[in-house]
Amino acid sequence: MIEFQSVGYGYGGRTLFQGLSMALAPGSFHFLTGPSGAGKTTLLKLCYGELVAPQGRVMLWGRNAGAMDRDAVALARRRIGIVHQDCQFLDHLPVAENILLPLTVAGRQAEGDANLRELLAWVGLTQQAGQLPPELSGGERQRAALARAVITSPDVILADEPTGNLDWEMSQRLLTLLIELNRMGKAVLIATHDLNLIRAAKAQVATRILRLRDGRLQQAGADL
């Protein structure tokens, strides 16, 4: 679905990474780790076409992202659910409408009405559906972001430090939700520093752990 072929990226004269190759296959579960500033968020942005690789190719469902026009990138993003650390909501819209936003922009609002109640119950936000995002706690925002990421039933879920603002119990709950999605055949890629989260995931699902260090992507896991 998403494949990196010898991808290199840098900015300001600094190389973040180079010769990076990897693939996200259906049903795969990846963790991406590495020190701060190693390029984890950049790698995720390359996955959903917000950035374009100057070296190598990022293939999105068989198409070179660098050669895709803006509309094609937008359509590809509809197949990717994204959970940001800072969540990024439309603060003037209630939580329910924020969760429905991917369907709204795709002109598929009708599908949302049936799924929304179930999805809100799944992430435990039924009571908060009418609230505005600034009124939610950090954990509630993360769960709302996850609900928004999965409402279109995307093929891939990308999460950037999804548990950064959460306590352990809430992190476990979020991980459980992501594992459930993975068992439905979704590819999951989580960028995180949280080793406890990775260990908890390894105990429940087959994961592949990638470490971004010194501009290279390494296979990790044995030491975790």
Partner 1 sequence: MNRLAPILRTTLALLGQLPARAAWHGRRALAFLAGDPQADRAVPPTGFTAWLTLLTAGAMAFLAVFALALALATDRLADRWGAELAQTATLRLSAPGEELAAQTAAALRVLEQTPGVAQARALTPEENQALLEPWLGPDLPLESLPVPQLVEITLDGGDFDAAGLRARLEAEVPGAVLDDHTRWRAPLIEAAGRLRGLGVLSLLLIAASTGAMITLAAQAALAANAQVIRVLRLVGARDIYIARAFVRRFTLRAAWGAGAGTLAGIVAVWLLPSADTAGGFLTGLGFQGAGWLAPLLIPVLVAVMAFAATRAAALRSLRAQS
Contact 57, 99 (CB under 8 A): no
104 vs 196, which CB is nearer to partner 1?
Answer: 104
Mark the segment that binds partner 1 (CB under 8 A) among 15-23, 93-101, 134-142, 182-190: 93-101
39 vs 49, which CB is nearer to partner 1?
Answer: 49
| Pairing status of strand 208-213 against strand 29-33 | parallel
Tokens of 61: 């469902």
110 vs 203, which CB is nearer to partner 1?
Answer: 110
59 vs 101, which CB is nearer to partner 1?
Answer: 101
Tokens of 212: 């971004």
Q: Which of residues 171-210 bind partner 1 (CB under 8 A)?
A: none
Per-residue contact string for residues 96-135; x = within reach of partner 1 by CB under 8 A: -x--xxx-xxx--x--------------------------
Q: Cα-atom radius of gyration of the chain, to the nearest Å?
A: 17
State which of residues 13, 14, 36, 70 lies at the interface with partner 1 (CB under 8 A). 70
- Asked if 75 is part of the footprint of partner 1 (rule: CB under 8 A), the reply reads yes
Positions that interact with partner 1 (CB under 8 A): 48, 50, 70-71, 74-75, 77-78, 82, 84, 88-90, 92-93, 97, 100-102, 104-106, 109, 148, 152
